[in-house]
Structure formats: structure tokens, C-alpha cells
């Protein structure tokens, strides 16, 4: 209704598989939660920072929004000294050949409802039971594995908070 600038929620979830609108029948594990975001099945769990920017998009352009989420994910990685690149299809962030962040959005009346999940230091084995985002599960990684040291959820949250302006500034 235009009465709020919105909220950007940063949280860590209990273990859960979510199945987006593009999840193919028979590819989600039993108990997966069907969700309104785009994309396919993925896993969320401890050690992963999930960002839900529930905001009016800065521009009425979904492609611009996906690029902003990718830039945000890349900036978080870069705060740890890593060179990150967006995926070719707008669904995540990679460090080398490893996917460290996944993106899935739902937009209603130009308000975003979902967002980005950045793998900090997590048990990656649940990804092996699915094809996360339609990819080979071996592509999934986390910042701790890439860096060779534990990245705490507090460190990840601090890096994410510092990168939030990338999501909201006008261009």
C-alpha cells in the first residue's frame, strides 16, 4: 500500500527442502515444502544465511532485480576476499565452479517476496539427495569450504548487512 519502505529479513532456517514453481514432478524429496518462488527444489539449513528482501523493487524490471541479488551475493563473497560471479541464468552466485548462493524470487505488484540463500558453513550432504536448482549436487559448496576456514553466521550476516545498499539504491 506504499505505507512502508519494506523490510529485509536475514535469517538462518531449520533444515528444509523447498520446491519452487519450476520443480519437476518426482524431483523433490518427501516432505519438501511447495513454495511460490520461482526455481526448482533446493535445501535450506543451519549455516546458510537466507535473505528475504520484502521491498518494492527499485525499478519495475525483474531482470534488474535478479542482477541486484546477484551483485549482492557477489559483494558478500568479495568481503571475504573471494572473486565471485553471477550464474548465467540469474539463479545464483559462483566462486570458480562452485555454487555458494542460490536465488529464487516471487514478485507481486512489484514487491519482492523471496530472495537469496548464501551458504556460509553448512552440512552440504542434503544437496546430494536432490538436483539443487536443477544442477548436479556436486556443484554446491559453501564459503567455509572455499576459504578453508569456518565462516560463522555472524560474519556472514555482517557482510550481508554491509552489502544491503546494493539492493535498494536507485540506478
Q: Tell me how far CA of residue 46 lies from CA of 50, 55, 62, 117, 127, in angstroms.
A: 10, 25, 29, 11, 13
Query: Which residue is catalytic, options 11, 74, 77, 133?
Result: 133
The question of whether 133 is a catalytic residue gets the answer yes
The residues annotated with a catalytic role in the active site are: 133
Amino acid at each position: 500500500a506504499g505505507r512502508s519502505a519494506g523490510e529485509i529479513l536475514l535469517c538462518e532456517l531449520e533444515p528444509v527442502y523447498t520446491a519452487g514453481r519450476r520443480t519437476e514432478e518426482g524431483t523433490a524429496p518427501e516432505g519438501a515444502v511447495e513454495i511460490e518462488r520461482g526455481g526448482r527444489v533446493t535445501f535450506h539449513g543451519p549455516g546458510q544465511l537466507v535473505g528475504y528482501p520484502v521491498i518494492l523493487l527499485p525499478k519495475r524490471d525483474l531482470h534488474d532485480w535478479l542482477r541486484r541479488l546477484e551483485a549482492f551475493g557477489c559483494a558478500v563473497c568479495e568481503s571475504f576476499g573471494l572473486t565471485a560471479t553471477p550464474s548465467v541464468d540469474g539463479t545464483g552466485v559462483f566462486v570458480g565452479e562452485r555454487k555458494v548462493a542460490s536465488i529464487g524470487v516471487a514478485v507481486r505488484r512489484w514487491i519482492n517476496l523471496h530472495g537469496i540463500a548464501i551458504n556460509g558453513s553448512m552440512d552440504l550432504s542434503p544437496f546430494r539427495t536432490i538436483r539443487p536448482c536443477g544442477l548436479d549436487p556436486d556443484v554446491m559448496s559453501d564459503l567455509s569450504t572455499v576459504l578453508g576456514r569456518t565462516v560463522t553466521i555472524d560474519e556472514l550476516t555482517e557482510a550481508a548487512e554491509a552489502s544491503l545498499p546494493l539492493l535498494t539504491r536507485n540506478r
